[in-house]
Amino acid sequence: MVLKKYNINPDLALERQKCTFDIEEIINIFDGGKEKTSQRRKIEDVVLKSGLCHDDVPEECMSLKERYENAVRKSCFFSKLMKTELQEITGIEDFETPAIRRIADALFKDISPFLLHLGMFVPTIIGQCTSEQLMIWLPKALDLQIIGGYAQTELGHGTFIRGLETTATYDADTEEFVLHTPTLTAHKWWAGGLGKTINHCIVVAQLYTKGVCYGTHLFMVQIRDLDTHMPLPGIKVGEIGPRMGFSSADNGFLGFNNFRIPRNNMLMKHAQVQKDGTYVKPARHGKLTYQTMVFVRVTLVNEAAFNLSKAVTIAVRYSAVRRQSEMRPNEPEPQILDYPTQQHKLFIGIATAHAFQLTANWLWNTFKSVLSDMKKGDVGTLPELHALSSCLKAVCTSDAALLIEQCRYACGGHGYMLSSNLPYIYSFVAATRTYEGDYTILLLQTARFLVKAWEQAEAGKTVTPTVSYISRSLKGEKNSWRSTDEGIIKSFQAVAAGKIALCVKSIRDRMKSGLDYEDAWLLTTVQLVDAAEAHCRSVILETYCNEVRRLTKSSSDNVKIVMHQLVTLYLSYWTLQRTGDLLRYSSISEKDIDFMQRQYEELLQHIRPNAVALVDAFDLRDEILHSSLGAYDGRVYERLMEQAENNPMNAEPVNQSFHKYIKPLLQGKL
Ligand SMILES: CC/C=C/C/C=C\C/C=C\C/C=C\CCCCC(=O)SCCNC(=O)CCNC(=O)[C@H](O)C(C)(C)COP(=O)(O)OP(=O)(O)OC[C@H]1O[C@@H](n2cnc3c(N)ncnc32)[C@H](O)[C@@H]1OP(=O)(O)O
Ligand SMILES: Cc1cc2nc3c(=O)[nH]c(=O)nc-3n(C[C@H](O)[C@H](O)[C@H](O)COP(=O)(O)OP(=O)(O)OC[C@H]3O[C@@H](n4cnc5c(N)ncnc54)[C@H](O)[C@@H]3O)c2cc1C
């Protein structure tokens, strides 16, 4: 759609005059510097001027088939643009992925069917191939001569990878693997792009050689003819059917009937099968084939932040424009943003988007540093990365989904319109809580790490920095509540330590009463999930505070003030959410809680004048927001009427169903 130009809504214009800080300064902080902001904007300009974002009919009014076809069209032209014009016009050689990621949303309200190509297929090639394999597949994949996906999950198993049923049996006579789907539940299920789009995919299958099963390994499989796009003989492939979101991502199913691939199509960076069928196991760590999942979990923290920033921008701008009810008799109706309950719904969304974005950047740097350790042969830092990426993916996607839904509540009935874009944003983020490792499962992975860390600390060994609070707790350090940033973080660490201690005790007590370790663990899993979540909260709180302090060192005073107000709001909010835990594991008193409540309410008032400016500082263009409620000009009612008028349902004054059914019914002739 072409966005009509309107004058700025007067309420929104007034809001912007109230701003106390330089918006550009905050934009630069989140982009990683002035230079990066300017690069990002250049990229956005190129894409927006390309005409690619235009749809004749709103996406939500298209049929599923039309939506898919439209998304393929855009994905192809966008890929071409990335390979050619973007590079030439902007002169930027090394594309910054966040900038490309952001502008991709101007093209797709839903999801690109190519998402998994860049999101998982290419990263798996990079992380799992030998250098010879890399030379064969990477240039083709980057040049889009082949388009791929990642088919791991099956109809019967997603979480439990070791339970996957697809087999890859090595035939030494022909030097081939035979891929087979032995049961109904062994069919690959869910892979994005698999239904109709991709011609290659990474398949995860149980490797058999010389009659022995060596567990799951990764294989490069061509599934369609490159010219006709017909499924190759021995391949059964299709779309799995309508879903809550991901409507244009053609998630698919895949079955193999003794389908043969060359030996060299097993991705052999870590484990190998030699020509004679001898298996060579990974030298360093048994879970290196899970690396792409770790990579995606890391990027999903960024996704949580980005999508939350979109939702809260829409809801805050809408709340500044919307007037409803009365605060006092005979006074004009206030902007709904003036209600403290509305501020309570929304300002935590702004603070959380900041907290998650800075945590995502920190996690990304941690990921890069672990990769570089691994290149040198050191896998010692991998368990901590796995524990961190697991809990952060779980908690950030889950919190973001809840807060996005809260943004929709904050927009009343209009938030329920697809044109608000809030339902789309929600359905995308809701899926991130499940895919790439379900919430509970990932927290249980972190819990394994925490229990081990506890045991190590108990044995007097040094533990990694993110769990060093465990050693302090074991030394008997008592928590004394202080309502400073540092004091609150320490108390949240005391909560995490207290919960881990109880888990360890529960497991031991249960074992003393005769249970084996597995049962004792299983019966403690409710507490273990809770302990891992508490650990994650302490990591987010600490990272957010540290990063704001570091990044605003040379900022203007007003930016320091407003960024720190958000940090304090975040700390106060979580203190009030977790008073039960803090009363149990820290020395917080009722008086302290009263103080925190008052501080929280005062902060809502302090942040109020800057609310619109703070969401403007996410620098999200209207084309990325796609929202009748959240456009920069605040012309909410004009846009709602526009989208109603453009609704294809209104193209004819009388729908044919009147003549077919209603009229006969009215006349008693049906
Ligand atoms: C322009 C656009 C750009 C876009 C970008 C946007 C978005 C992001 C990009 C792309 C993504 C987009 C869409 C994605 C769509 C979704 C894709 C998928 O969902 S793919 C399928 C994902 N599936 C899962 O995540 C499955 C979850 N299950 C598991 O991971 C595992 O089964 C398990 C739960 C971890 C258990 O594994 P296993 O049984 O093998 O292991 P154990 O539990 O026995 O543990 C043994 C030991 O290993 C350690 N460990 C486990 N995993 C890892 C790991 N990954 N790394 C390191 N170590 C690991 C575990 O902790 C144990 O350690 P121990 O305690 O023994 O020391
Ligand atoms: C939109 C979308 C896109 C996807 N894209 C892809 C893709 O491209 N490629 C791909 O391979 N997969 C993909 N998936 C699949 C996804 O990775 C899985 O759905 C996900 O990992 C969860 O696994 P599951 O569906 O088997 O859930 P299940 O494991 O069946 O989970 C169901 C419930 O059981 C609980 N549960 C399961 N095991 C345990 C346990 N041990 N302890 C306690 N509770 C347990 C879970 O917590 C959950 O509440 C996609 C999924 C979605 C929704």
Q: Is the CB of 301 under 6 A from ligand 1?
A: no
pLDDT over 70 for what percent of the chain? 98
The HSE-up count of residue 180 (CA atoms within 13 Å, CB side) is 13
Q: How far apart are CA 492 and CA 255, in angstroms?
A: 48
Q: Read off the pLDDT of each residue in 124-143 and give the average, rounded to a whole number.
A: 97
Number of residues that make up the chain: 670
Label residue 61 by pLDDT band (50, 70, 90): confident
Ligand 1 geometric centre to CA of 438 (Å): 9
Single-letter code of the amino acid located at 610: N
Q: How far apart are CA 457 and CA 450, in angstroms?
A: 10
Ligand 2 geometric centre to CA of 158 (Å): 5
Is pLDDT at 93 greater than 80 in this prediction? no
Pick the catalytic residue from 60, 436, 533, 623.
436
What is the position in ligand 1's atom list of the atom closest to the CA of 382?
57
Q: Read off the pLDDT of each residue in 70-87 and give the average, rounded to a whole number.
A: 89
Q: Is the CB of 351 under 6 A from ligand 1?
A: no
Q: How far apart are CA 486 and CA 475, in angstroms?
A: 20
Q: Which residues are paired to 279 by β-bridges?
A: 273
pLDDT of residue 95: 55
The best mutation among 435, 443, 526 to test binding of ligand 2, ranked by most ligand atoms within 8 Å of the C-beta, falls on 435
Residue 341 annotated in ligand binding: no
Q: Is the CB of 159 under 6 A from ligand 1?
A: yes
CA dihedral for 656, 657, 661, 664, sign (positive or negative) = negative
Label residue 92 by pLDDT band (50, 70, 90): low
Nearest to 202 by CA among 300, 283, 125, 264: 125
Catalogue the E-assigned strands of 439-480. none
Residue 149 annotated in ligand binding: no
- In this predicted model, what pLDDT tens digit does every residue of 625-669 receive, in sequence order? 999 999 999 999 999 999 999 898 999 999 999 999 999 999 999
What is the position in ligand 2's atom list of the atom closest to the CA of 194?
8
Q: How far apart are CA 428 and CA 183, in angstroms?
A: 31
Ligand closest to CA 448: 1
- Reduced to 3 states (helix: H, G, I; strand: E, B; else coil), residue 640 is helix
What is the position in ligand 1's atom list of the atom closest to the CA of 294?
55
- Reduced to 3 states (helix: H, G, I; strand: E, B; else coil), residue 86 is helix
The best mutation among 290, 300, 452, 464 to test binding of ligand 1, ranked by most ligand atoms within 8 Å of the C-beta, falls on 290
Q: How far apart are CA 303 and CA 190, in angstroms?
A: 20
What is the position in ligand 2's atom list of the atom closest to the CA of 152?
11
What is the DSSP code (8-state) at residue 631?
-
Q: Is the CB of 153 under 6 A from ligand 2?
A: yes
Q: Is 606 exposed, middle or buried (0-12, 13-18, 19+ CB in 10 A)?
A: middle
Is residue 88 among the annotated active site residues? no
Q: Read off the pLDDT of each residue in 75-90 and give the average, rounded to a whole number.
A: 82
Single-letter code of the amino acid located at 256: F
Q: Tokens 């809990």: give the residue.
A: 391
- In this predicted model, what pLDDT tens digit does every residue of 243-266 receive, in sequence order? 999 999 999 999 999 999 999 999
- In this predicted model, what pLDDT tens digit does every residue of 362-410 receive, in sequence order? 999 999 999 999 989 899 999 999 999 999 999 999 999 999 999 999 9
With residue 148 as reference, give the H or E element that holds it: strand 148-151
Query: Do residues 221 and 179 make contact, with C-beta atoms less than 8 angstroms apart?
Result: yes
Is pLDDT at 183 greater than 90 in this prediction? yes
Q: Tokens 């918006």: give the residue.
A: 23
pLDDT of residue 224: 98
In the predicted model, what is the mean pLDDT of the chain? Answer: 96
Nearest to 72 by CA among 107, 98, 35: 107
Ligand 1 geometric centre to CA of 160 (Å): 10
Q: Is the CB of 159 under 6 A from ligand 2?
A: yes
Q: Is the CB of 369 under 6 A from ligand 2?
A: no
Is pLDDT at 89 greater than 70 in this prediction? no
- In this predicted model, what pLDDT tens digit does every residue of 455-495 receive, in sequence order? 999 999 999 999 999 999 999 988 899 999 999 999 999 99
Nearest to 628 by CA among 615, 642, 616: 642
Query: Do residues 165 and 183 make contact, with C-beta atoms less than 8 angstroms apart?
Result: yes
Q: Read off the pLDDT of each residue in 157-184 and give the average, rounded to a whole number.
A: 98
Inter-axis angle of helices 34-49 and 97-107, to 10 degrees? 30
Is pLDDT at 90 greater than 90 in this prediction? no
Is pLDDT at 521 greater than 70 in this prediction? yes
Is pLDDT at 4 greater than 90 in this prediction? no
- In this predicted model, what pLDDT tens digit does every residue of 586-637 receive, in sequence order? 999 999 999 999 999 999 999 999 999 999 999 999 999 999 999 999 999 9
Which residue's alpha carbon is at the smallest distance from atom 11 of ligand 1?
119
- Reduced to 3 states (helix: H, G, I; strand: E, B; else coil), residue 464 is coil
pLDDT of residue 57: 85
Which residue's alpha carbon is at the smallest distance from atom 10 of ligand 1?
119
pLDDT of residue 96: 57
- In this predicted model, what pLDDT tens digit does every residue of 193-222 receive, in sequence order? 999 999 999 999 999 999 999 999 999 999
Ligand 2 geometric centre to CA of 164 (Å): 12
Q: SS in 3 state form for 151-220?
A: ECCECCCCCCHHHCCCEEEEECCCCEEEEECCCHHHCEEEECCCCCCCCEEEEEEEEEECCEEEEEEEEE
